[in-house]
Amino acid sequence: MKRGKILLADDDEKDLLTTKKLLEKAGYLVIENLGWLGITKNVKYSEPDLVLLDVNMPALSGDLVFEMIKEFTDKSKIPVLFYSSYDEGYLRKMKIMKGVADYIVKGDIFQLYRKISLHMKKRRSN
């Protein structure tokens, strides 16, 4: 039985596949979105429990993609977590400024599992 459905958006194919494997190993169903194109369609039709969104993408940054998700989908209750190699201070500031549910620093597997598990539990309890 799957623990939940995650939409993972990242422009780096290696990071996308590595993170997908880690999350699938933890029991999550992962829907890939390479880059930002098509993400609003994926949010709308795949109905994920959580969106894990890379911040540093060319052409359209993750914070702007987050604004698109909020504007073009009626999925405001789906938590969006920024996922980036930026330092934690920057991500914390982005979380406050943009209003995302949380952030995860790339490469911190413990934080990845802990925060996703936390937000999935919150989602199920609502």
pTM of the model: 0.89
DSSP 33-101: EESSTTHHHHHHHH--SEEEEES--SSS-HHHHHHHHHHH-S-TTS-EEEEESS-HHHHHHHHHHHT-S
CB 52, CB 9: distance < 8 Å: yes
* pLDDT tens-digit map of 19-70: 999 999 999 999 999 988 888 889 988 999 999 999 887 777 777 788 888 8
Ordered structural domains, the chain, with CATH: 5-111 (3.40.50.2300)
The answer on pLDDT for 1 being more than 60 is no
* pLDDT tens-digit map of 60-107: 777 778 888 887 766 567 899 999 988 898 888 988 888 888 999 999
Work out the number of other CB atoms within 10 angstroms of the CB of residue 78: 19
